[in-house]
Amino acid sequence: MKRIIYVILFLVIQIATYSFKDNYIFNAERIKKVFSEWEFVDEEKKENYYMRFINREKDVTIDISNYKKGDNSETAERRFHKSSLEDDYVFNGNGLLSVGYLGITSKEYIKYSETGIEKKENFFFEKVKFAIYLTDSEEDYKETLELVKEAIDPSIKVKERPKKIFKKSLKVDQIFDVKKLKREFDNTHKYVELEKNVDPSGIMLLLDEKKAGFRRQIIIESTNNFSKEVITRRRDYNLKLADDIDGYKYIREDKKSEKYFGVSSREYQNTHFKDAKLFDVVAMANVIVTDQYEILIINYIPEGQKEFADKQYEEYLKILSSCLKK
């Protein structure tokens, strides 16, 4: 039965693809109008015309361009296949979902990253080529395909959309007084190591020496204007699939941080060391996400020290909030 369904589906796709006429165009102003509610982050007009748009509410990116002189869909497809593999993507075959929207299958690639399963869908037409990057959300992909169809199909009337104004994303040192933060933790801890990150803008405070084994840490990162839902989903995936131990499990919503940051935290627990009878220690993680920044606090709690750890966690919250730039 499954084989019959597969054959029928294959024939339908073949017929649709065979009857498809590539009348799609690349018109930069038309594309900008359709994607006016996405952030327009990059544009190049050299050998060809290239643009990038990001939907930070849904975590979807599209790169779209025409061809440079002498280039065509076949050579571009081979070139993009090679570059995708070099970027650690794995070719996942032809994506069928796009047939109902654009008349052809996509060239689908996947990559397992620290923040989720990343998909890349490549498309090559006679006058336009584009790539859609997203996490594994079929609904977001469908919505993006509808927008692309409107942007490149001249037979479709472009809808009127408001042009969204985007704030410039802030770096962590614009949000927190990092020097004061380091000084405050130096005053309360024997060992403090500060590491900085550029993209996304962030810092990590390590509160134990490497030889200690278990290293308490506080990570602060800019959200780069991505929505709270996107940041929370990424961190949730990252914690649950921690590659050094078995991963954290979401426990509950913790209200303590509301007093200091206006939002509750998501609390996670990891009992790997205790379950494996290696150490009588439970790892705890608290994630605080606001519109501008994310805070991750990781602590290791010995048996019988939960009350002390709770007090220590609240002290961390006090210090962190006192270092916010008003």
What is the DSSP secondary-structure string of 46-112? Answer: SSSEEEEEEETTTTEEEEEE---TT--HHHHHHHHHHHHHHTT-EEEEEESTTHHHHSS-EEEEEEE
Q: Are 147 and 132 in contact (CB under 8 A)?
A: no
Is residue 89 within 8 A of residue 109, CB to CB? The reply is yes
Amino acid in position 194: L
pLDDT digits (tens, 9 = 90+) for 72-119: 999 999 999 999 999 999 999 999 999 999 999 999 999 998 888 999
Residue-averaged pLDDT of the chain: 90
Which tokens sit at 107?
A: 């060239």
Model confidence at 137: pLDDT above 90? no
Instruction: Tell me if residue 310 falls in helix, strand or coil.
Output: helix
pLDDT at 246: 65
The predicted pLDDT at position 14 comes to: 47
What average pLDDT does range 180-186 have in this prediction? Answer: 95
Task: Say yes or no to pLDDT of 288 above 50.
Answer: yes
H-helix or E-strand spanning residue 41: strand 39-45
Model confidence at 13, in pLDDT bands (50, 70, 90)? very low
Q: Is the pLDDT of residue 299 over 90?
A: yes
Kindly tell me if the per-residue pLDDT of 240 is higher than 50.
yes
- pLDDT for res 210: 83
Rounded Cα–Cα distance for residues 186 and 16 (Å): 66
> 């849904």: which residue's tokens?
58
Is residue 55's pLDDT more than 70? yes
Q: Which residues of 27-66 are buried (b: 16+ CB within 10 A; e: fewer)?
A: beebbbbbbbebbbeeeeeeeebbbbbbbbbbbbbbbbbb
Decide: residue 127, CB within 10 A, 0-12 exposed, 13-18 middle, 19+ buried: middle
Residue 212 has pLDDT above 90, yes or no: no
